[in-house]
Amino acid sequence: MTRFLASLGRPVLAVLAAFGRVTLFALQTLRHLVTPPFYLREFGVAVLQIGWFSLPMVAMTAFFTGGALALQIYSGGSRFNAEAVVPQIVAIGMARELGPVLGGLMVAARVASSIAAEIGTMKVTEQIDALVTLSTNPMKYLTVPRVLAATLAVPVLVAVGDSIGIAGGWLVGVTKLDFNSATYLANTRDFLEAWDVGSGLVKGAVFGFIVATMGCYFGMNSGRGAQGVGAATKAAVVSASVLILAANYLLTAVFFTS
Amino acid sequence: MIQLSGVHKAFGANRVLRGVDLSLPKGQSMVIIGGSGTGKSVLLKCVLGLVRPDQGQITVGGQDVTQGDRDAFLARFGMLFQGAALFDSMRVWENVAFRLLRGPGRLPKAEAREIAIEKIRRVGLKPQVADLFPAELSGGMQKRVGLARAIAANPEIIFFDEPTTGLDPIMSGVINQLIREIVVELGVTAMTITHDMTSVRAIADRVAMLHDGLIRWTGPVAEMDQAVDPYLQQFIHGRAEGPIESVR
């Protein structure tokens, strides 16, 4: 019995310890975020890498998701004569949920992996040690610019994704489901509230923070060799994705349940 | 200048350093030799504060390495890493000028670039190399750029971690000669770790042998061949038989 309890307790303790280490890492990042020096060039490069270069992927994901959502709502709604709600549900669904969650997950796949692989390789090749010997704090130089860039860039990606997703729904609605274009757009505009969009942007900021923090944490703690970097990359993507989904539930519960 | 007293360091059950005592006077070049995995790199990283010793004290110029302003302390050092550790997202000159472009005493970009090119020339590379990326250079050229970065801010102390590993004999000779010239020319205190005996004879004023977490032997390089320590003799002559186990 004791052995059984110990075998249960060990992984629980390991998970709690890992959670504690990630939390401390995130708090350290926040502390360095508000204390100089600030590396503006690295921040600019990170915005470009995380934000600008993720745009095509997020845009395509949102476009196809918006289109598929319109088809699904039309098909499901037809069972109880509610086909007309397609514009409203597409808009609300994209802004509140699918825009931020799918955007966050796509950025996690692209950015958390690349950050973890880049920083992990830097660690393995002693570039992180070299930074320290050159009087440069790796947390400030590598982590802070990426976390700040992701926290600011992902909401912008979400906003773009929302717009393109709604456009995808409109295109399918107008070309395949016989909606009148002006009516579709009017319904979208009339039913979408500012907080629908705002809550999605807040989610995007939280997801961006999670993605970059996980990428940096696992990169900084990468094991030796190609296998170590590979494991760090995988752990960064998996943990960022799971945390995004968990954070999405918590934020939705906070924002939309009274 | 650099003093280590009773330095211990373990990683889990692996006791890498078991009470290292070592002294390196100012302006001298010491080479630490020893087999792979004997803790030479850990020793160097302990001095730099990259690894915190479990026990013992390390002082540089009388200052405890764990006390005081870290940036000011690290500004006294230059380091050439085993694989050069160049930042591959930056051009060669930006790597060399990294310290000059950052921190409280940072220089204007043009001036830093000029100094970087001068250092690139000093290590025997053409100025055109300055605008290349590290991935476009051979291993020997990367080592030279690493050396240029180590001397860019005129440090008092330079560490060399396996400076000739992975290089052909001619390039190894070039690097050894450059290190010796730079140490003499700049009057710096140098600590090198290697198991390349050609490097030892080219670079060292003094030699220390690390084995089993302890300094087995230390003395001037001229006395190394006459020393009676069987561990040292086995190592410098590369014999399979002797007190050092050949299968580790």
Cβ–Cβ pairs < 8 A, chains A and B:
46
A248, A100 contact by CB (below 8 A): yes
Residues in A whose CB is inside 8 Å of some CB of B read 37, 122, 125-127, 129-130, 132-136
Mean pLDDT within A12-36: 94
Mean pLDDT of chain A: 95
Domain count, chain A: 1
Whole-number pLDDT of residue B70:
86
Q: What is the pLDDT along chain B (248 residues), one digit of tens a residue?
A: 899 999 999 999 999 999 999 999 999 999 999 988 888 989 999 999 888 999 999 999 888 888 888 888 899 999 999 899 999 999 999 999 999 998 777 899 999 999 999 999 998 899 999 999 999 999 889 999 999 999 999 999 999 999 988 888 888 898 899 889 988 988 999 999 998 899 999 999 999 999 989 999 999 999 999 988 999 999 988 888 888 876 55
A126, A138 contact by CB (below 8 A): no
For the question of whether the overall pTM of this predicted structure is more than 0.80, the answer is yes
Alpha-carbon span A250 to B43, nearest angstrom = 48
Structure token digits, residue A228: 């170590």
Contacts A125 to B, Cβ<8 Å: 83, 85
For residue A15, being part of any structural domain is answered with no
Which residue of chain A has the CA closest to B157? A133
CB within 8 Å: B74 and A134 = yes
Whole-number pLDDT of residue B72:
86
Whole-number pLDDT of residue B248:
53
CB within 8 Å: A135 and B48 = no
Whole-number pLDDT of residue A51:
95
CA atoms within 13 A on the CB side of B23: 3
Whole-number pLDDT of residue B247:
56
Whole-number pLDDT of residue A244:
97
Q: In 3D, which of B149, B161, B151, B160 has the Cα closest to residue B95?
A: B149
pLDDT of residue A131 exceeding 70, the answer is yes
Domain that holds residue A139: 39-252
pLDDT of residue A53 exceeding 80, the answer is yes
Alpha-carbon span B185 to B121, nearest angstrom = 15
CB within 8 Å: B79 and A130 = yes
Whole-number pLDDT of residue B95:
96
Q: How far is B57 from chain A (nearest CA, A)?
A: 20
The three-class DSSP label of residue A49 is helix
Alpha-carbon span B134 to A123, nearest angstrom = 17
Q: Looking at this predicted complex, what is its ipTM?
A: 0.88
A108, A218 contact by CB (below 8 A): no
Whole-number pLDDT of residue B170:
87
CB within 8 Å: A134 and B98 = yes
Q: Which helix (H) or strand (E) holds A82?
A: none
For residue A26, being part of any structural domain is answered with no
For residue A13, being part of any structural domain is answered with no
Residue pointed to by tokens 């926040």? A30
Whole-number pLDDT of residue B129:
95
For residue A18, being part of any structural domain is answered with no
pLDDT tens readout for residues A176-197 = 999 999 999 999 999 999 999 9
B147, B123 contact by CB (below 8 A): yes
Whole-number pLDDT of residue B186:
87
The helix-helix angle for A55-77 and A99-107 (nearest 10°) equals 140
Q: In 3D, which of A154, A215, A245 has the Cα closest to residue A25?
A: A215
**Residue of A41, A123, A133, A139 to mutate for B, most B C-beta atoms under 10 A:** A133
Residue A258 banded pLDDT, cuts 50, 70, 90: low
Query: How many C-beta neighbours within 10 Å does residue A159 have?
Result: 18
pLDDT tens readout for residues A55-84 = 999 999 999 999 999 999 999 998 988 889
For residue A28, being part of any structural domain is answered with no
For residue A14, being part of any structural domain is answered with no
Exposure class string for A78-115: b at 16+ Cβ within 10 A, else e: eeeeebeebbbbbbbbbbbbbbbbbbbbbbbbbbbbbb
Whole-number pLDDT of residue A8:
87
